[in-house]
């Protein structure tokens, strides 16, 4: 699904595209202006530390990945189960799904995790050592719980040779996201940015469902919720579906 049908202002993230993971000056400047506007509206002054070194994970990124992949695997498990119930193909993921996963995953990264990771960098004063030790202990326990939850979800996937949770979390570590660009690559990206109409996300166009098709899907949903105990649904929600079907 192409997200061109969705206005960027309606997305839960600041959306940019680039042919590589390398940051561009135009993207960075635009992000800084948006951040400055947001802080001004909140009457906040912040210190923004910008590291000019390659990506260095103090733990926040790893926590985000864990939360993101929990959402990803849970979605795939549910999509597979629904496909089996309705005898249809598994609905594929798209960029809009990934954007929403990213939003929910970031919101699931706790303040305790961020606090611990800042302490780990030793940029900020450690403060009370006993309190810090307690925070670290709680953080470590949360990391273990998140990994166990993700591993349990992996076990629900319909495959025989399942991957270990640690391998799954670091499966893309070998990908080069911080390598430099050649002059030709830089020129090519500048040309692309001068004409956003050339943006191509290499996605299938959004399939428009007919009214008849939508009603058939709605009928299947009503039958599914009426006879299935696997997914609990409130009676009022079922009544709303039935009313929607009659309209």
More confident residue, 191 or 45: 45
More confident residue, 214 or 44: 44
Q: Do 42 and 113 sit in the same domain of this protein?
A: no
User: Would you say residue 199 has pLDDT above 60?
Assistant: no
pLDDT band at residue 218 using 50, 70 and 90 as cut-offs: confident
Q: Do 198 and 244 sit in the same domain of this protein?
A: no
DSSP 3-state helix, strand, coil percentages of the chain (rounded to 5)? Answer: 60, 0, 40
- Distance of alpha carbon 46 from alpha carbon 76, whole angstroms: 39
- Distance of alpha carbon 138 from alpha carbon 125, whole angstroms: 19
Tell me the range of 10-14, 51-55, 211-215, 225-229 where mean pLDDT is highest: 10-14
More confident residue, 185 or 155: 155
Q: Do 51 and 62 sit in the same domain of this protein?
A: no
Q: Do 227 and 243 sit in the same domain of this protein?
A: yes
Q: Give the model's pLDDT for residue 39.
A: 94
More confident residue, 181 or 72: 72
Q: Do 160 and 75 sit in the same domain of this protein?
A: yes
User: Would you say residue 216 has pLDDT above 60?
Assistant: yes
Q: Looking at 89-93, 95-99, 179-183, 222-226, which range is the least confident one?
A: 179-183
Q: Do 51 and 67 sit in the same domain of this protein?
A: no
Q: Which two tokens stand for residue 156?
A: 């629900």
What's the chain's average pLDDT? 76
Task: Note the residue count of the chain.
Answer: 247
Q: Give the model's pLDDT for residue 153.
A: 84
- Distance of alpha carbon 158 from alpha carbon 153, whole angstroms: 11
Domain range enclosing 150:
57-176
Q: Give the model's pLDDT for residue 246.
A: 74
Q: How many domains does the chain have?
A: 3
Q: Do 70 and 166 sit in the same domain of this protein?
A: yes
Q: Do 69 and 162 sit in the same domain of this protein?
A: yes
User: Would you say residue 70 has pLDDT above 80?
Assistant: yes
Give how far the C-alpha of residue 189 lies from the chain's centroid of Cα atoms, to the nearest Å: 25
Q: Do 188 and 121 sit in the same domain of this protein?
A: no
Q: Do 68 and 145 sit in the same domain of this protein?
A: yes
Q: Do 126 and 168 sit in the same domain of this protein?
A: yes
User: Would you say residue 244 has pLDDT above 60?
Assistant: yes
- Read off the pLDDT of residues 13-68 as tens digits, 9 standing for 90 and up: 988 887 776 778 888 899 999 999 999 999 999 988 876 655 556 678 888 988 99
Is the full-model pTM beyond 0.85? no
User: CB of 112 within 8 A of CB of 142?
Assistant: yes
User: Would you say residue 137 has pLDDT above 70?
Assistant: no
Give how far the C-alpha of residue 73 lies from the chain's centroid of Cα atoms, to the nearest Å: 12
User: CB of 184 within 8 A of CB of 203?
Assistant: no
- Read off the pLDDT of residues 71-86 as tens digits, 9 standing for 90 and up: 988 898 888 888 888 8
Q: What is the mean pLDDT of residues 180-206?
A: 57
Q: Do 77 and 160 sit in the same domain of this protein?
A: yes
């Amino acid at each position: 699904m192409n997200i061109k049908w969705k206005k960027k202002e309606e997305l839960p993230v600041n959306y940019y595209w680039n042919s590589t993971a390398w940051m561009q000056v135009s993207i960075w400047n635009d992000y800084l202006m948006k951040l400055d506007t947001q802080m001004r509206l909140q009457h906040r002054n912040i210190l923004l530390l910008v590291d000019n070194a390659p990506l260095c994970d103090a733990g926040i990124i790893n926590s985000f990945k864990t939360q993101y992949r929990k959402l990803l695997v849970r979605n795939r498990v549910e999509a597979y189960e629904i496909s089996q119930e309705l005898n249809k193909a598994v609905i594929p993921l798209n960029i809009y799904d990934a954007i929403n996963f990213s939003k929910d995953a970031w919101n699931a990264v706790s303040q305790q995790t961020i606090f611990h990771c800042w302490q780990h960098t030793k940029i900020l004063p450690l403060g009370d050592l006993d309190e810090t030790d307690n925070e670290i202990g709680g953080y470590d326990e949360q990391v273990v719980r998140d990994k166990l939850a993700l591993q349990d979800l992996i076990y629900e996937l319909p495959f025989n040779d399942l991957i270990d949770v640690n391998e799954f979390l670091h499966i893309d570590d070998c990908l080069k996201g911080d390598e430099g660009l050649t002059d030709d690559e830089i020129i090519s990206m500048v040309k692309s940015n001068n004409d956003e109409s050339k943006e191509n996300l290499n996605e299938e166009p959004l399939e428009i469902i007919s009214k008849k098709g939508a009603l058939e899907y709605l009928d299947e949903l009503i039958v599914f919720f009426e006879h299935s105990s696997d997914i609990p649904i409130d009676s009022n929600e079922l009544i709303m579906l039935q009313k929607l079907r009659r309209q």
